Amino acid sequence: MILAGSLLLPGTDGDRPGVRLAEGWLRIEGGQIVEVHEGGLPATFDFGGDGCLISPGFIDTHMHLPQFDLIGAHGMSLLDWLDRVTFPNEARWADADYAQAMTERVIDQLLSGGTTSFAAYATVHHEATKRALDCCARRGLRAVVGQVLIDQEAPASMLREADACIAETAALLNDWPSQPEQRVAGNRVSAAVTPRFAITCSEGLLKAAGDLAQKHDAYIQTHLAEMKPELEAVAKLHGGPDYTSVYRKAGLLGSRTLLGHCVYLSDDERRLLAETGSVAAHCPTANSFLRSGTMNRQQLLDSGVALSLGSDIGGGYERSMVRVARAMIESTLYAELVSGGGGCAAPGVSEAWWQATAGNADAMGWPETGRIQEDAEADLVVIQPDVRWQDAHDPLGMVMFAYDDRWVKATVVNGELAYRSEA
């Protein structure tokens, strides 16, 4: 398969990583990009053409599969929203057939938006999580999916015994290991240890989760310091000195740990994240939608914390990672404006596009995807804007800020055509 157009190649954005545009084409064979050529367009090609962008597939590092049907429940803050909207919706995944059908539907939505890889929460239900993992593998995506661990401070429909849900997660980790050499060739799906957050997990459950993840060198996903009342509840339930230390004591920090939000962290907590290589998953759309606050991206970067970007559907409302990347720029700009700060620390468009692709791949420990280069996995999106972006003052800026989902013409996953627009 040959894709041609303006390739979004690895580049820089000032002294930060970014992407650069270059006319050219690439050839895919056996799931990989085997040739990349800069220069003119070839005489024949399968997808793309003049005026098209060829981007690495987007990577979403924080979202909830069962929450795609509750997007837009506006006007509540996190803890209220969990009780009134989220937990009742997630209870539907007690029916594994329902969970499977929903996951198929969600994957259709993701592919039509150009998302080819993700890290996601399922629910507390074991069979439903198994079905979700199966779906992701069957559809060829690169995915990390976890059964949510909850043993306190939640409605009865969400509560599980700690021992039982740890045993279930252990079984998932055996079947869906994180190490590629332990997986069947072509399968890019891993299970993750997924304690929901410190409020809904006892100290014992968190510790068992940390031990289990260490034993399997598994991914860990949880939420950290999203909003102020959450911090107070965690301090009451788990004591001090701070929220991040609750996870450190349980052995839950490390380079495979994805921590959603990280809005309210002290200097000590940022240092702890940097020292352990833990990843702070920035979720700008959810942070504004649930009125949680604004993550100070620059401060985390300056502290040496690894960052990623996530849609956090359904606390977040944008399914397209291009728009989430745009929200990352906007939220940083607003924070600057509100604080009356001096120099503008907002990332540029090139860095934002990098973050949603190669940057998120790096945060996940996936150097083999998220970028257009020879030998990379062929996870790609063909985008055909209907604006005259190539002549614009800032071509990629025009694509990002005028973005329209209808521009996604084709999505390639692991070298196979996985979505094609009818239009």
Q: List interacting residues with Zn ion (CB under 5 A).
A: 260, 312
Query: Per the structure block, which two tokens stand in for 420?
Result: 């094609």
The correct pick among 60, 153, 226, 379 for binding ligand GUN (CB under 6 A) is: 226
DSSP secondary structure, 126-187, as one string: HHHHHHHHHHHHHTT-EEEEEEEE--SSS-GGG---HHHHHHHHHHHHHHS-SSGGGSPTT-
Comparing CB distances to ligand GUN, the nearer of 5 and 195 is 195
Rule CB under 6 A: is residue 78 a binding residue for ligand GUN?
yes
Kindly identify the residues of this chain, within the stretch 86-125, that bind ligand GUN according to CB under 6 A.
Answer: 86
Which span sits near ligand GUN by CB under 6 A: 78-86, 96-104, 112-120, 166-174? 78-86
Cβ-based nearer residue to ligand GUN, 4 or 128? 128
Total residues contacting ligand GUN (rule CB under 6 A)? 11
| Nearest approach, Cβ of residue 64 and ligand GUN (Å) | 5
Q: Residue 377 binds which one of Zn ion, ligand GUN, none, with CB within 5 to 8 A depending on kind?
A: none
Residue 312 binding ligand GUN, by CB under 6 A: yes
Among 5, 18, 315, 385, binds ligand GUN (CB under 6 A): 315
Q: Cα separation of 343 and 146, whole Å?
A: 40
Q: Which is nearer to ligand GUN, 68 or 366 (CB)?
A: 68
Residue 273, amino acid: L
Q: Is residue 314 reached through a cis peptide bond, with omega within 30 degrees of 0 on the bond before it?
A: yes
- Phi first, then psi: give them for residue 30, nearest 5 degrees: 55, 40
- Report d(CA 105, CA 108) in Å as an integer: 5
Q: How far is the CB of 316 from Zn ion (least distance, A)?
A: 8
- Residue carrying the six token digits 């942070």: 287
Q: Which of 207, 244, 166, 185 is nearest to 31 (CA)?
A: 185
Contact between 126 and ligand GUN per CB under 6 A:
no
Whole-angstrom distance, CA of residue 195 vs CA of residue 166: 10
CA distance 292 to 227: 5
Burial class for 179, CB neighbours closer than 10 Å (0-12, 13-18, 19+): exposed
Nearer to ligand GUN, 260 or 415 (CB): 260
At closest approach, how far in Å is the CB of 86 from ligand GUN? 5
Contact of residue 226 among Zn ion, ligand GUN, none (CB under 5-8 Å per partner type): ligand GUN
Pick from Zn ion, ligand GUN, none: which does 86 bind, CB < 5 to 8 A by kind? Answer: ligand GUN
Pairwise CA distance, residues 128 & 137, whole Å: 14
What residue type is assigned to position 153 of the chain?
E
Based on the shown chain and the rule CB under 6 A, indicate whether residue 64 belongs to the binding site for ligand GUN. Answer: yes
Q: 47 near 410, Cβ under 8 Å?
A: yes
CA pair distance 1, 167, nearest whole angstrom: 43
- Tokens read off for 364: 């996940």
Cα distance between residue 391 and residue 51, in whole Å? 10
CB of 331 to ligand GUN, least distance (A): 15
- Smallest distance, ligand GUN to C-beta of residue 226, A: 5
Binding status of residue 197 toward ligand GUN by CB under 6 A: yes
Query: Could you say which of ligand GUN, Zn ion, none residue 126 binds, taking C-beta under 5 to 8 angstroms by partner kind?
Result: none
286 part of the interface to ligand GUN, by CB under 6 A: yes
Angle at which helices 162-175 and 203-216 cross, to 10°:
20
- Beta carbon of residue 392, minimum distance to ligand GUN (angstroms, whole number): 35
The position carrying tokens 């031990």 is 211
Nearest residue (CB) to ligand GUN, 226 versus 379: 226
Nearest to ligand GUN of 57, 146 (CB atom):
146
* Rounded least distance, CB 61 to ligand GUN, Å: 14
Binding site for ligand GUN (CB under 6 A): 64, 78, 82, 86, 196-197, 223, 226, 286, 312, 315
